[in-house]
Structure 1
């Protein structure tokens, strides 16, 4: 059985990706940050659907925890799947915080950088020896990084996601010697808990966002999770170094 590691799978896109990957016959090691209950619920949902899952804690913004996390992944692989490698890595964990450039503090900037760029860089580095040759990596970016009409307040967030887009291409080049494919997905406005559950707190923004989207609605986690699951699967064996916008035609 193939095995995937999916970070930030306690809710939203990560949860959807983990469940969809499992439905396609892949075992899942999923991670959660502060939302332990959500992580355990994702693992339970996979098991109830006949899949195999292990939930582990991980703070992607704290690189000092990565060696212990790698050990936990090694133990899970051995104990649950009798393997010493896994096949797919989904770097999805993240958060967003909106503020205009003139109001952005160094603390906010650094927190975004640690979680959205530094974290995926060094977590992938730490786990790379465990990824089987011929595997795949998917990084969750954002359409805000390439927006033709940038939304004020997301300069720091989008800058980190832009860096992740560049990192994706370099990973694809460097890991290609082992047959490991690396791609990114860039969701548009999607109904998740991002931004401190902004869609729930400010439902009045949804009609405006839907009106700016060619397909007439905001995205749902399953819209993006299905694409992530496809990108790690053998169906996408000839796709690498790509950034797939999954936005329904936002600002088209």
Structure 2
């Protein structure tokens, strides 16, 4: 590894991505973060990373726009060259996501395609596009969900695509092992973000109900997940690969 490390975090302007970028910066990692539409949020994260003494660059990326991935990779190359005088980065965190309510018997084709494009197709083809830029000995963290283990009404399609991400993670771990690249999936439980309209952040009744089902007695915060991802990218966890790490506070044990 180089004397400093660089992480690329998709969807790094808010929620879990923002928390991950800041946790990584706090342990000495520079950050390339992506945003889809809110440039001001992304700029605020860049400033927050700088306040922690690290460098950050924000690049626009729609993870459903596969045709734009080659141009995005070119932008990453330029950022690496201009900001770090490097031609590779060290960590890829596939975090970007969205939620759509998909009840069994009431799921639309549009909702299915959106979830598939964001949570699986985009992950596969963005990773493929960026692999030449990922340093040997680097690491990948893919975001899954606790809902791939326990039931959540209305999330059958979302959870199914996340299960596919977990399988893809194991295949990546095997096939990239020769380059010394470790690959793991982090599966958050209920977290207080704007996911699902922010209900886990803003609705006290829902929060209390879920807290009762959690061993640690509360809903997670973005920093809880950011800390787990940063820990998986720390020097002492290099030997972990091909694993699903659930960070749910002991939800529905």
Give the TM-score of the pair, scaled to structure 2: 0.96
Uncovered stretches (5+) of structure 2, i.e. residues with no partner? none
Aligned pair in 2 of structure 1 residues 189, 200: CA closer, same or farther (>3 Å)?
closer
Aligned to 2:100, what secondary structure does the other structure show? coil
Residue 82 (structure 2) aligns with: 79
Uncovered stretches (5+) of structure 1, i.e. residues with no partner? none
Residue 156 (structure 1) aligns with: 157
Give the Cα separation in 2 of the matches to 1:192 and 1:244. Answer: 20
Residue 29 (structure 2) aligns with: 26
**Do 2:11 and 2:35's aligned partners in 1 also have CA atoms closer than 8 Å?**
yes
Calculate the aligned-residue CA RMSD, in Å: 1.0
Please report how far the alpha carbon of residue 201 of structure 1 lies from its aligned counterpart in structure 2 after TM superposition: 5.2
Give the Cα separation in 1 of the matches to 2:152 and 2:80. Answer: 42
Residue 37 (structure 1) aligns with: 40
Aligned to 1:83, what secondary structure does the other structure show? coil
Aligned residues: 250
Please report how far the alpha carbon of residue 96 of structure 1 lies from its aligned counterpart in structure 2 after TM superposition: 1.1
Instruction: Show the 5 A alignment for 1:96-107.
Output: 96-107=99-110
- Alignment equivalent of 1:128, drawn from 111, 122, 131: 131
Cα-to-partner distance string for 1:123-156 (whole Å, 9 max, x where unaligned): 0000000001000000011010122xx1221101
Give the Cα separation in 2 of the matches to 1:24 and 1:223. Answer: 15
Q: Which runs of 4+ in 1 moved over 4 A?
A: none
Residue 211 (structure 1) aligns with: 212
Give the Cα separation in 2 of the matches to 1:200 and 1:227. Answer: 20
- Is 1:9 the counterpart of 2:34? The answer is no
- Alignment equivalent of 1:62, drawn from 65, 71, 85: 65
